[in-house]
A and B are shown apart, each in its own frame.
Chain A
Amino acid sequence: MAVMAEPVVAPARRSSLWSRAFESRHFLGAMFMVPAIAILILFLAYPLALGFWLGMTDTKIGGAGRYIGFQNFVSLSKDSVFWLSVFNTIFYTVAASAVKFAIGLYLALLLNERLPFKSMVRAIVLLPFVVPTVLSAIAFWWIYDSQFSIISWVLIKAGLITRYIDFLGDPWNARWSVVAANIWRGVPFVAITLLAGLQTISPSLYEAANLDGATNMQRFRHITLPMLSPIIAVVMTFSVLMTFTDFQLIYTITRGGPINSTHLMATLSFQRAITGGNLGEGAAISNAMIPFLVAAILLSFFGLQRSRWQQGGRD
C-alpha cells in the first residue's frame, strides 16, 4: 500500500503549490506585469542602455568599438560645433515653446468661446498637426528660399522691400526661421490640449465669479489659470521634449547650416553618427541631451506635486 501512496501524494503537493501561487495577489500581480515589463525592457530600456554604452565606446559604422570611458564627452567638451549645437537647441526650445504656449493658450481661449463655425475653426487649427512633418518642412524650405520665397515676393510687390530676404543664409535669420516653422507645427497640439483642459472647468465657477462681479482678467487669473495649471504643466513638458529633440524640420530645411548655426543636438548627433560614421560620438551627443530632458520632466513633476493641483488644492 505504501508503494501506491507515494505517486498520489507527490503530484498533489505540486498542484497545491502551483494553485496556491495563483491564489496569491502578489504573484498574480507580478505575472500580469511580466508582458508590460518585457516590452519596456525590450523597446525602451535596452535601446537606452545601448545608447549609453555606445556613447562610452569608439564604435564606428560597421565595426565593433572598444570601451573608452568618458573620452567622447571630454572630446565634445572641446568641440566648438557641439557647444554651438547646445546653444542652438536651448534657444530653439525656449523661443519656440514660449511662443507656442502664448499662441496656443490664446487660441484655446478663443475656441472655448461661442464662435460661429466653431467645429470648422477647430479643424483648421489642427491642420498643421495633421500634415506630415517632412511635407511642412519642405513647404517652409520653399517659403524661405533665397530666390523663390513667397514672403519676399509679396513684400517686394507691396513695395516694402527692395531685395529678397536671406532667410536661411544668415545665422540669426535662419535660427528665427526654423523657430517660426516649429511654432507653426506645434501650436495645434498646445491649443487643442489646452482647449480640452478648459472644457473640464465647471461653468458654475465662472457663474459664481460673475455674481461676485469679477472682471474677465480676474476670472482668467483666479479660475482659468489655476484650474488649467496641471494640463499646462503636462502640455508644456511634452512640447519642450518634442522641441528639444526635433530633427526633421531642421534636417529638411537647413541641414544644420548656415555654418552650423541651426544645428541642434539631434541633427549633429545624426551627422556625426551616420554621415560621419562615428556612432560612438553620435551616441554621446544624444546622451548629452538626457540631462536637459530629465530636468524638464522633473520641473514639471515637482511643480505638480507641490501645488497639489490635481486634488484641487492650493499651494
Chain B
Amino acid sequence: MSNFDRRSVLKAGLGGAALLAGPGIVPVRAAEWTNVPEANASIRVLRWKQFIQAEFDKFAEQTKKFSEKTGVKVKLEAESWEDIRPKAAVAANVGAGPDLIIGTLDDPHKFPEKLIDMTDIADYLGKQYGGWYPVAERYGKKGNSWIAIPQGATGGCLNYRISHVKAAGFEEFPKDTAGFLKLCQALKKNNTPAGFALGHATGDANGWCQWALWAFGGKVVNDKNEVVIDSPETIAALEYVKQLYETFIPGVLSWNDSNNNKAFLNGELSLTLNGISIWTVGKNSTDPKQQEIAKDMNHAAMPIGPVGVPTEQQNVLVYYGYKHSKYPKAVKEYIKFMMDKENYDAWEVSSNGYVSPPLPAYNENPVWTSDPKITPFRDCLKRSRDNGFAGDLGYASAAVMGDFVVVDMFAEAASGSATPKQAAARAAERAKRYYQV
C-alpha cells in the first residue's frame, strides 16, 4: 500500500462514502446549517504547531479556500501546545487576542463564560456525522451547552519495533498489562529497551501515566469530585509502573515530549507512547537508517489493565472562539468549513492519520486502512477517557494536569524517591488543594 497518493485515497474515500451512504452506514445529511458570516469579517486563528508539515500546508490551503468562498479574511498562526495555553489564558483574561483558538484538552473549561456558545454547530456536526464520541462530548460540552468543538486528538499509540518485539518472544503485541510488563522486561533483557517520558512532558508523560492509573482502577477524583487518588488501586498502579520503570532506558525522568521521538529514530528505543509522527518522519526521511526503522515499526493500542476496559488518555484538540470576537458568525463558519467531511478527509489524508477523529463518519476515510500501521490511531477517541475522570472537567482537572500531580506521583514512586504509599498520599494532598475550591 505504499504507492497510494493523497488524491487517489481521497477519491476512493469519497466514492466509498457515497456507496456506504446508501445502506445507511454513513449518516445521510440530516442537519441544516444556516449561518451568514458578518460582512467584511476578519478573524485571527491560533492553532497548534505542526509535527507533520504536509498537515499544516493542507490546513493553510483549506483556510485560503474558506476565505475565497466566504470573503472572510483569516490570519492563521501556529504555536506549540505549551505556548497556546498561556496565550489562550491571557486572551480570556484581557478580552483581546485571537478570535479562535485550536488548543488542547480542558482549556476551554477554565474560562467557559468567555467563550462563544457552539451548541448549534456541535448539533449540526453531530447530526451530520453520526454523533460525537462520548469523550469528545465531554471535552466540548459544559452543562447543556457546547463551549468548544473537538477537532480530534493527536492520537497516542504504542510505537514499537517489530523485530525487537519478536526477538523478545512476542509474535503479537500483548493486549493486557501483565503481558506488557513481560514484554518490557524481555526487551530490557535483550538490550533493546522501552522508554516512557516521566519528566514534565505535557502530552506523553500525562498520557501514559493517566492510562496506568486508570488501568488499575485508580483515579484522581470520584464522580462527586472528591479526591480519591490515595487508594489501593493507585498503589497497585504505582507498584506496576515501578516494575516497568526498571526496564526503561536511562534518563526518562528528564524527558519532555520530543525526547522519545529522537531516541526512537536514533535506534535506541524499541517501545514508547507517541503519535504517528515518529513513523511518518522516519518514512519520509532521507536518512536510510530512519527509513529502516520506520519499516520495522508498528503501532498498538495501550494494553488493558485489571479494570477490563480501555483506559487511554488522549491529547484532544479543541476549537474555541472568544466572545470578544467581533465576528462570531465568521468563527463558526470557519469551524464548520474545516470540519465538513470533505475538507476534514482531505486534511486527514495529508496528515497521514495524525488526528484521530471525534465523529464516527470520519472513520470511513480510506487513509485509516491504507496501511495497517495507521489503523490503530483511528479509534483513539473511542478508547479514551477525559482527563477529569471520573469527575468534572474544569479548573481543578486542568490544574491537576498542568501541575503534573499524577506524573510526579509516578516519577516519585518509580524512581524510588518515595514509596508508592507516600507518593499517593502526596498526590492526594496536592490534588485536594485544587479540588477543595
Contacts and interface: CB of A to CB of B under 8 A. Distances in A.
Contact of B408 (A79, A147, A260): A260
Contacts of B437: 58
Contact of A257 (B89, B249, B254): B254
Contacts of A146: 249-252, 254-255, 259
B251 A147 contact: yes
Interface string B59-88: 000000000000000000000001001100
Contacts of A254: 199-200, 254
Question: By CB atoms of chain A within 10 A, which of B199, B255, B411 has the most?
Answer: B199
B240 interface: no
A258 B411 contact: yes
Question: By CB atoms of chain B within 10 A, which of A60, A167, A260 has the most?
Answer: A60
A276 B110 CA distance: 9
B115 to A, nearest CB: 9
Interface in A131-169: 144-148, 163-164, 166-169
Contacts of A257: 199-200, 253-254, 404, 411
A62 B108 CA distance: 10
Interface string B81-116: 010011001001100000000000000001101100
A163 B254 contact: no
Contact of B86 (A144, A171, A274, A278): A274
Interface in A153-197: 163-164, 166-171, 174
A4 interface: no
Contacts of B199: 168-169, 254-255, 257-258
B399 interface: yes
A80 interface: yes
B40 to A, nearest CB: 29
B398 A277 contact: yes
Interface string A287-314: 0000000000000000000000000000
A62 B398 contact: no
A275 B199 CA distance: 16
B107 to A, nearest CB: 9
A164 B251 contact: yes
A184 B430 CA distance: 35
A45 B399 CA distance: 30
A147 B254 contact: no
B415 interface: yes
Contacts of B133: none
A271 B433 CA distance: 15
B144 interface: no
Interface string B382-420: 000000000000010011001110001001100101000
A63 interface: yes
Interface string A251-273: 00011111110000000000110
Contacts of A271: 402-403
A164 B402 contact: no
Interface residues of A, number: 38
Interface in B261-317: 262-263, 266, 268
Nearest to B433: A75
Contact of A277 (B82, B110, B114, B412): B110
A152 to B, nearest CB: 10
Given A259-B412, A259-B415, A60 B110 contact: yes
A40 interface: no
B256 interface: yes
B399 A276 contact: yes
A101 B93 CA distance: 41
Given A80-B426, A146-B251, A171-B417, A275 B412 contact: no
A61 B110 contact: yes
A62 B97 CA distance: 13
Contacts of B426: 80
Given A168-B251, A169-B252, A258-B254, A81 B430 contact: yes
Contact of A62 (B85, B93, B252, B404): B93
A257 B252 CA distance: 11
B417 A259 contact: yes
Nearest to B266: A147
Contacts of B253: 166, 168-170, 257-259
Contacts of A259: 253, 408, 411-412, 415, 417
B198 interface: yes
B97 to A, nearest CB: 12
Interface of A: 58, 60-63, 75, 79-81, 144-148, 163-164, 166-171, 174, 254-260, 271-272, 274-279
Given A63-B113, A257-B253, A258-B199, 17 more contacts: A58-B437, A60-B395, A80-B429, A81-B430, A147-B251, A147-B266, A147-B268, A148-B262, A164-B250, A166-B253, A166-B254, A168-B254, A258-B415, A259-B408, A274-B86, A275-B402, A277-B399
Interface of B: 82, 85-86, 89, 92-93, 110-111, 113-114, 198-200, 249-256, 259, 262-263, 266, 268, 395, 398-399, 402-404, 408, 411-412, 415, 417, 426, 429-430, 433-434, 437
9 contacts: A61-B89, A61-B111, A80-B426, A144-B254, A145-B251, A168-B199, A259-B412, A276-B434, A278-B434
